[in-house]
Structure 1
Amino acid sequence: MRVRRICAEQAVAMQDARPDDAALVRAEAAKKRRHLPIRSLFSAAPEVLTALKPCWAMSPLVVSQILPSDEPHFDVVVFDEASQVRPSDAIPAILRARQLVVAGDERQLPPTSFFAGTNLDAAEEEAEIEAELSVDSSYESILEGLQGFVDFRMLRWHYRSRDERLITFSNVYLYDRGLITFPGIVGPDCVSLELIPFAPGHPGSEGSSPAEVERVVELIIKHASQRPEQSLGVIAMGINHANRIEVRLREVLGEQDDGDLDEFFKESRAEAFFVKNLERVQGDERDAIILSVGYGKGSDGRLLYRFGPLNQVGGERRLNVAVTRAKERMTLVSSFSHHDMDPERSSARGVQLLRAYLEYCASHGAELGLAAREIPELNAFEVDIRDNLERAGVPVIAQFGSSGYRIDFAAKHPTKPGRMVLAIECDGASYHSSESARDRDRLRQEHLERLGWTFHRIWSQDWFSDKAGEIVRAQAAYRDAVEAADRADEVGRPTPAPQSPTENSGIEHSPVGVAEVTRVPQFVDSSGADLP
């Protein structure tokens, strides 16, 4: 409200200071046709327009068409998803502002040019991608181009995922465990694998198994029927596969004629349902994601190592984008398992990581292969807490989590397998390893509570001076947490989606950036192409 008030006051003041320019803008707004070109209107009344609309969002490709270059009319230009922006495309926007902020991820999609081919059919577009990926993967983005001139800062705190298993795979294999993530309270379906049995006569030789298409559509309908309050997106690894899923979904919806389902699929929803191939999904996020591999086995039952973009240079960046779009639940659908893939067959990192991700999803996010780390040993203080809580009827898991940050003790729901309810922390080794008092005393607790945990702390001084009293308090906290979890489960969702703290520590999808910035909205049409 404070920002809105300031903007309104500035808009009124500017209209009073420049009445002629304000009159021109009002006249243009009242017209029904034959408007002035936006560039001409901006040249005539730049101060009034920027006062009325202080923030302008557009594709870098249309900046020169809309904004004059006579002087920098904006204080700051912000590039989001900067790994996809070429320096030549960024220069017009940079010239029109006094300061520059770049946010992006060098481990996500590089600049590509095949989006310009809007007149291509699916088969031609697939071939176009194959031909261009090996070239475009080496294009220098504005993100890479600036690294020699400015200091970059790693934005480490990850806020999007309600459970760290949704980001752990990428954190381990692509970010060298550099992201700070937090365990969630949900059960094993947070990350799962739907394995489609091989059906002779229905090979996935064209990157789209018919049986897999059917299963994906079944999962879509099931989600829309059982969890309509949660948003859903479907990512296919190939364009043909994405098109076939969409066509089959339309057929099924036409046969069912269900008004409730129609409501779920409305494009006017805040986070509308989509089906996209992985090249068009960067920047999108949904509560639940279905990632469909599409590629499969030949008629003889042997796996065809035709993985499209994953076979190319930078294929791991494309897989990284696909596997990190979910906020609550990721379902991987595949016609083959990691056991079907020969690790020596392909040296492409994208293909190797696909095999590892199949194994990861099959284990519900528990198996990291050779990248797994041992759980830290408990000290004597922590062992004493664990043993006493167990005897007191509080079932706990010590050192719960998979990243560098683990919850000292996570208490399980007594009757719901996999459902966690209470985070118990003490001032042991993990407490003292935090970089700042703010991290260990406030931010961690706040974020765990946003994820649905009930939080309880045991101080060593209190434990040693009144152990019996601390056990009683822990039992009471556990009972309260179970009751809170049951109430939340009846409603259907644990807690509202997590938001980053007021004192922002980073951006969830932009591990590399020159500053901590607020995300700039992108306008996306149903095909995923950027619009001005």
Structure 2
Amino acid sequence: NPRSKIIFKRETDDVPFDKWENQLNKWKGQLSSVHLWSQYSNTKRACRNSEASLFIKTIEKRNIKKDDVKPMVLGNFADSLLNIVFNENDTLATFIGELHENRIKEFKDLDVKIINLNRKRIFNKLNSEIPKIYGAANDPEAKVLAGEFTRKSGHLPVRTLLEKAGGTIKKIKPVFMMSPLSIAQYLDPTNPKLQFDVVIFDEASQVKPEDALGAFMRGKTAVVMGDTQQLPPTSFFDQMTDSESGEEVATALDMESILHLCKLSFPVKMLKWHYRSRHESLINISNREFYDNELLVYPSPSHTDPELGLKFHYNPNTQYHRGEGSANPLEAKDVVKEIFNHFAKYGDKKSLGVGTFSVAQKNAILEELEIERKAHPEYEALFSENKEERFFVKNLETIQGDERDVILISVGYGYDTEGKMSLNFGPLNQDGGERRLNVLVTRAREKCVVFTNFRAHDIHLTANPPFGVKSLQAFLEYAENLHYNQSVQYEDYDEAPFEDAICNFITENGYDVDKKVGCAGFRVDLAIKDPDNPGKYILGIQCDGHNYASSKVARDRDRLREQVL
């Protein structure tokens, strides 16, 4: 049989009958798969006249494993598509990765260099324009200033001095930093020499429109900065309620600020990147409750570190003293104990501040602190007023603008001496109360500890609760559990085969990987968990995907994002 050489790779005489019998039985048992061989033969015949002919020979010689055939075909097909795209696209055809990386590095170096050079350029420009004061016989303003410099007493009032020599003073000090009241007191709006090119308002949410108009009159251009979700103009300290609690109330004057009015009429730009919080739990609730998750927050490399993020300190044994005192003295003791624990652990390496919901609770903490400071004089230097970021105890009306590494928050309110709890949380119950809460809970850079004698589920909301109280419940629930119910909707671009391929490769090499680490609008594509500490990441991987491509400014894409991470 001439076929024996093909079937058995031997001559016919060398093949025993039983071998033929076994082979025929095997074929008989596989008759149902003959159509597959037919399909293969037809496909093979069609491919013989194409570039795949060499590939067929390689397969039939068993030079490629059966399981590798399909991935190799797909890989070669993708490679051929890439070649076509590269040939048709000049940008890709001329792209060299190493050159591009060098260009990014050069840009980063030049960007920092230009910023530093601009500082020096502006300094030198302003320095060169400082007028001569002594011996300037033809300059009446210089003569007025020279006279004031040499006079030991009887100086001109500031407004009069600015009226007579304002032009020269502006050349010496081209930036005036003043409150709206100081502007009204010292700068004559009718004097053309006391007009400014730009007027900048910071913390504009706290400025009443009538206070701001005078400053606007003295400028050609205005930049109004602030946060409508933070403290409004307030008359909080102007009135006291006659209610039994004797607590402060906010009035209707809370609401309107120059920032609100400008937001209605002028172009608005929202600054979305949030840099302060070193842990996303410190800003998550504010981002959700007040900013519609529009803030872009950098994720932390550690999500279970006891020294990072939002912490909940619950002590049901403390009591709120309703009426006279209106404070929680035992909670004040807890806070003071934590203050000294902090200083014992960190000394002056990490700054510390305390925020309270009421003036009464602030005073209770200060009284307790005074007693403990006398008992521990060795810590006195850490309470120095001369430190750059000195320790403070402030209530939520006065804490705006401050930030510290660690913030302790004392709620104060809660279950009273009779075991009852009302929904009275002072200023949080008023219109705009949620803004005060937002300010208070976003002061910490690294860690925020909340002290209270009740839990979120103890707040039984009415049918139409104040937004401030509703936000407090959400905040306490998150502080206790560090999660909230939120459906995250990923866009189509989240189907990222490149990131998935990297993730699969790392996983196959024995590492545990999380995808899309972070919250809100910014996430790190991949993060590798520490095998020895699963609550910590040892490596973050950012791919040049949607996040990168959506940044319109090279400084954001290639320098700032990487610098902060």
TM-score range, shorter chain: 0.7 to 0.9
Q: CA deviation at 1:252?
A: 0.7
Q: CA deviation at 1:14?
A: 7.8
Residue 390 of structure 2 aligns to a residue whose secondary structure is: coil
Structure 2 unmatched ranges of 5 or more: 1-119
Q: For the residues of structure 2 that align with 1:148 and 1:192, how far apart are their CA atoms?
A: 35
Q: Name the Cα RMSD after superposition.
A: 2.8
Q: CA deviation at 1:419?
A: 3.1
Q: 1:74 aligns with which of 196, 219, 222?
A: 196
| Amino acid of the structure 2 residue aligned with 1:287 | D
Indicate whether 1:163 and 2:251 are aligned. Answer: no
| Structure 1 residues 183 and 31: alpha-carbon distance in aligned structure 2, compared to 1, 3 A threshold | farther
| Amino acid of the structure 2 residue aligned with 1:181 | V
Residue 24 of structure 1 aligns to a residue whose secondary structure is: helix
Larger Rg: 2
| Structure 1 residues 23 and 286: alpha-carbon distance in aligned structure 2, compared to 1, 3 A threshold | farther
Q: After alignment, is 310-319 or 4-13 more displaced?
A: 4-13
Q: 1:218 aligns with which of 337, 352, 360?
A: 337
Indicate whether 1:198 and 2:316 are aligned. Answer: yes
Deviations 1:471-510 (A, max 9, x none): xxxxxxxxxxxxxxxxxxxxxxxxxxxxxxxxxxxxxxxx
Per the alignment, residue 425 of structure 1 pairs with 542
Q: CA deviation at 1:174?
A: 0.8
Q: CA deviation at 1:380?
A: 3.9
Indicate whether 1:331 and 2:453 are aligned. Answer: no
Structure 1 unmatched ranges of 5 or more: 452-532
Q: For the residues of structure 2 that align with 1:300 and 1:116, how far apart are their CA atoms?
A: 31
Q: 2:477 aligns with which of 351, 356, 359?
A: 359
| Structure 1 residues 422 and 116: alpha-carbon distance in aligned structure 2, compared to 1, 3 A threshold | same
Residue 398 of structure 1 aligns to a residue whose secondary structure is: strand
Per the alignment, residue 206 of structure 2 pairs with 84
Per the alignment, residue 50 of structure 1 pairs with 170
Q: CA deviation at 1:435?
A: 4.5
Q: 2:231 aligns with which of 96, 100, 109?
A: 109
Deviations 1:458-482 (A, max 9, x none): xxxxxxxxxxxxxxxxxxxxxxxxx
Residue 280 of structure 1 aligns to a residue whose secondary structure is: coil
Q: For the residues of structure 2 that align with 1:203 and 1:127, how far apart are their CA atoms?
A: 14
Q: 2:141 aligns with which of 11, 21, 44?
A: 21
The 8 Å contact of residues 204 and 298 in structure 1, kept in 2 or not, is answered as yes
Q: CA deviation at 1:115?
A: 4.7
Q: After alignment, is 71-80 or 374-383 more displaced?
A: 374-383
| Residues 244-255 of structure 1 aligned to structure 2 (within 5 Å) | 244-255=364-375
Indicate whether 1:291 and 2:405 are aligned. Answer: no
Q: 2:183 aligns with which of 63, 88, 94?
A: 63
| Structure 1 residues 375 and 394: alpha-carbon distance in aligned structure 2, compared to 1, 3 A threshold | farther
Per the alignment, residue 21 of structure 2 pairs with none
| Residues 396-415 of structure 1 aligned to structure 2 (within 5 Å) | 396-415=513-532
| Amino acid of the structure 2 residue aligned with 1:3 | I
Q: For the residues of structure 1 that align with 2:487 and 2:416, how far apart are their CA atoms?
A: 33
Q: For the residues of structure 1 that align with 2:513 and 2:294, how far apart are their CA atoms?
A: 27
Q: CA deviation at 1:176?
A: 0.7
| Structure 1 residues 245 and 31: alpha-carbon distance in aligned structure 2, compared to 1, 3 A threshold | farther
Q: For the residues of structure 2 that align with 1:328 and 1:16, how far apart are their CA atoms?
A: 56
Indicate whether 1:303 and 2:436 are aligned. Answer: no
Indicate whether 1:41 and 2:161 are aligned. Answer: yes
| Structure 1 residues 430 and 21: alpha-carbon distance in aligned structure 2, compared to 1, 3 A threshold | closer
| Structure 1 residues 25 and 343: alpha-carbon distance in aligned structure 2, compared to 1, 3 A threshold | same
The 8 Å contact of residues 315 and 451 in structure 2, kept in 1 or not, is answered as no
Q: After alignment, is 313-322 or 343-352 more displaced?
A: 343-352
Residue 104 of structure 1 aligns to a residue whose secondary structure is: coil
The 8 Å contact of residues 428 and 434 in structure 2, kept in 1 or not, is answered as yes
Q: For the residues of structure 2 that align with 1:123 and 1:326, how far apart are their CA atoms?
A: 35
Residue 516 of structure 2 aligns to a residue whose secondary structure is: strand
| Percent of aligned positions that are identical | 36
The 8 Å contact of residues 46 and 73 in structure 1, kept in 2 or not, is answered as no
Q: 1:94 aligns with which of 216, 226, 248?
A: 216
- TM-score using structure 1 length: 0.75
Q: Which has the higher helix share?
A: 2
- TM-score using structure 2 length: 0.71
| Structure 1 residues 388 and 87: alpha-carbon distance in aligned structure 2, compared to 1, 3 A threshold | same
Q: For the residues of structure 2 that align with 1:23 and 1:229, how far apart are their CA atoms?
A: 50
| Structure 1 residues 32 and 235: alpha-carbon distance in aligned structure 2, compared to 1, 3 A threshold | farther
